Amino acid sequence: MLLLCLLAASAAPATITNTLGVKSMPDTYPAFTSRYVAARNVQVYLPACYAATSAPRCAVLYMHDGQNLFDPATSFIGVDWAVQTALEQLLAAQRVRPTIIVGIWNTPQRLPEYMPAKPCALITNPAMRATFTKRYGKPLSDEYLRFIVTELKPFIDARYRTQPDCANTFIMGSSMGGLISAYALCEYPQVFGGAGCLSTHWPAGDGVMIDYLRGALPDPATHKLYFDHGTETLDATYAQFQRRVDDVVRAAGYIDGTNWLTRRFPGHEHSERAWRARVHIPLAFLLAPPAR
């Protein structure tokens, strides 16, 4: 299967990376509607091997902040993750399975949509709750995940040649996108087999997400977790929280380097520039070819 991807990638017309044939833009669905949350753009990147007649069905990686993934013209700071290039390079090296990437754009409701709702209920201090509500508003994360699981995923699975099972469905994001990715894995363990959480904003709600994880992490036998953080700008505040998360993950039975990975990147700041530089690491960890 991976050989088909390698052959197709090298034969495809080149637009971004000459040797890998990475196409410049994914399929775009403007203003994708939902019964649960506001409409937003959705973009779908198909690996170069997808066009091959005998290409296998693909795993699917759902990613938040979709406007920052593929195109510097739409990215927050004018630097995109170039996630399609990282994927094709890994496919060429046979380090990942054939995968479709679904980029879900954010909206003005990004903070309430990405802030996990159930952990927020653990905030009992009135002053802290007032501060939290002023900062994040009423959480809409349960509605956002319902949109992904019951509306977007069925659309993707019906329109594209996917492997729709849990073992081939993943979710990933950075900062608040890291929080909602971990929350998605816990709330929908039958849907998502792994979560990638880059520069996760654990300080939200004074770390209430960590207490939630203690009783919510899914079975380590069938799920994978990736975490990382830098050491500069906002990321400089994350290490103490990540150590607590690692303790919780370890206690839940996850094994470092097998179904869980936490990485620290000295000198990396909290930005798309840093996530672009290391996105290949969570891709390779989460999307590694299944054991034969």
For residue range 124-153, what is the model confidence (pLDDT) as tens digits?
A: 788 777 777 877 888 999 999 999 999 999
Q: What is the average per-residue pLDDT within 162-182?
A: 98
* Element at 40 (helix H, strand E): strand 40-45
**Is the pLDDT confidence value at 252 over 70?**
yes
Does the model's pTM come out above 0.75? Answer: yes
Q: Average pLDDT for residues 31-40, to the nearest whole number?
A: 98
Distance of alpha carbon 88 from alpha carbon 190, whole angstroms: 28
For residue 291, is it within any domain?
no
Domain count, the chain: 1
Q: Nearest to residue 187, comparing CAs of 137, 132, 139?
A: 139
Range of the domain at 80: 2-286
- The answer to whether residue 263 scores a pLDDT higher than 90 is yes
Residue 151 lies in a domain: yes
- Rounded distance between C-alpha atoms, residue 78 and residue 235, angstroms: 20
| pLDDT score of 210 more than 70 | yes
Report the DSSP pairing between strands 40-45 and 99-104.
Answer: antiparallel
Q: 159 by DSSP, 3-state: which?
A: helix
**Sheet arrangement for strand 40-45:** 27-32, 40-45, 99-104, 59-63, 169-174, 194-198, 224-230, 260-265
Rounded to an integer, what distance in angstroms lies between the CA atom of residue 25 and that of residue 11? 18
> Are 20 and 10 contacting, i.e. CB atoms less than 8 angstroms apart?
yes
In angstroms, the Cα distances linking 247 to 51, 160, 204, 223, 224 are: 44, 39, 19, 17, 16
C-alpha closest to that of 231 among 273, 269, 195: 269
Q: Where are the alpha helices (DSSP H) in the chain?
A: 2-11, 83-92, 110-114, 117-120, 126-136, 141-147, 153-159, 176-187, 208-214, 239-251, 272-278, 280-286
Q: What pLDDT does residue 128 have?
A: 77
Q: Residue 252 is part of a domain; what is its CATH number?
A: 3.40.50.1820
Position 143 in a domain: yes
**How far is it, in rounded angstroms, from Cα 182 to Cα 134?**
23
- Specify the range with the lowest mean pLDDT, choosing from 12-21, 137-146, 171-180: 12-21
- Residue 78 falls inside a structural domain: yes
SS3 call for 138: coil
Other CB atoms within 10 Å distance of the CB of residue 4: 16
Residue 60 contacts residue 169 (beta carbons within 8 Å): yes
Structural domain includes residue 292? no
User: Which residue would you say has higher pLDDT here, 292 or 219?
Assistant: 219
Instruction: Quote the CA–CA distance of 178 and 63 in Å, as a whole number.
Output: 10
Considering the chain, what is the average pLDDT of its residues?
90
For residue 274, being part of any structural domain is answered with yes
Q: What is the mean pLDDT of residues 3-13?
A: 35
Domain assignment present for 164 = yes
Q: Checking DSSP bridges between strand 59-63 and strand 27-32, what pairing results, if any? A: unpaired
What local confidence, expressed as pLDDT, does residue 85 receive?
97
pLDDT at 53: 66
